[in-house]
Amino acid sequence: MIKFLMTLPIFLFAVMIHEIAHGWVAHRLGDNTAKVQGRLSLNPIVHIDPTGTILLPLLLYIIGSPVIFGWAKPVPVNFLNIRRPKMGMVLVSLAGITANFLLAIFLSVLVRSGIFPENSQGHLFLNIGILINLILAVFNAVPIPPLDGFNMLVGLLPRKFGYPLSRLQPYGFVILFALMYIGLLGKLVWPIVILLYYALAGSA
C-alpha cells in the first residue's frame, strides 16, 4: 500500500500532463475549448476523474494486475474549430502519447544522472515515474476505442474506412475490458513497456 500511495501522485501528474497536451495542441490548431474551460491548468482538481484516476488504478493494484492504467477527465475538443479536422484528430491524439513518452525520457535522464543514490526513495520514485509514463504512452497507442491510438487510426484512414470504424466508439470500454479480462491487452502492452523501460533506465 505504501508503494501504491507513492505511485498515485505520479500517476495523477502523468495523466494530467497527458490531457493538458491534448488541449494545448488543440488550442494551437485553433480550438480554444479546453483553454476557455480552464483545462490547460496544472491544478489537479480540474483533471481528476473519480473512477479513472483513483478507483480503477486502486482496483487494478489490489487484484495484482501487471498493467495499471486509468485516465483523467478528458479535455473537451471541438474539431469543427480546426481547419483540417481529420489531421487535427491525429495530432491531438498523438500529443498525449508524446507527452508521456517525453516525460519518461526526462525522468530517465535524471535517473542516469545519479541525482539520487540507488536504492533510495528518490531513485525508486523516478523509476516508478518512468514506468507509469511508458505504460500510459504504450497503452494509449493501442488502436482500440476509446484510446488515442484508435482516434489516430480513424484520422489517418480514408473517410470510407475511418467513418465505419469510428462507429465502434460507443462499445470502446466493453472491448477494452474484454481484452483486459482475457489478458490480451497486458500481453500486448507489457513487453513493449519493459523493452522501452530498460532502454531508458537501463538496469536501474
Q: Which amino acid would we find at residue 108?
A: S
> Is 44:12 a contact under the CB 8 Å cutoff?
yes
Distance CA 31, CA 34 (A): 8
190 touches 134 (CB < 8 A) = no
Print the SS3 string covering the chain.
Answer: CHHHHHHHHHHHHHHHHHHHHHHHHHHHCCCCHHHHCCCCCCCHHHCCCHHHHHHHHHHHHHCCCCCCCCCCCCCCCCHHHCCCHHHHHHHHHHHHHHHHHHHHHHHHHHHHHCCCCCCCHHHHHHHHHHHHHHHHHHHHHCCCCCCHHHHHHHHHCCHHHHHHHHCCHHHHHHHHHHHHHCCHHHHHHHHHHHHHHHHHHCCC
Select which of 7, 12, 19, 132 is catalytic: 19
19 is catalytic: yes
Residues with catalytic function:
19
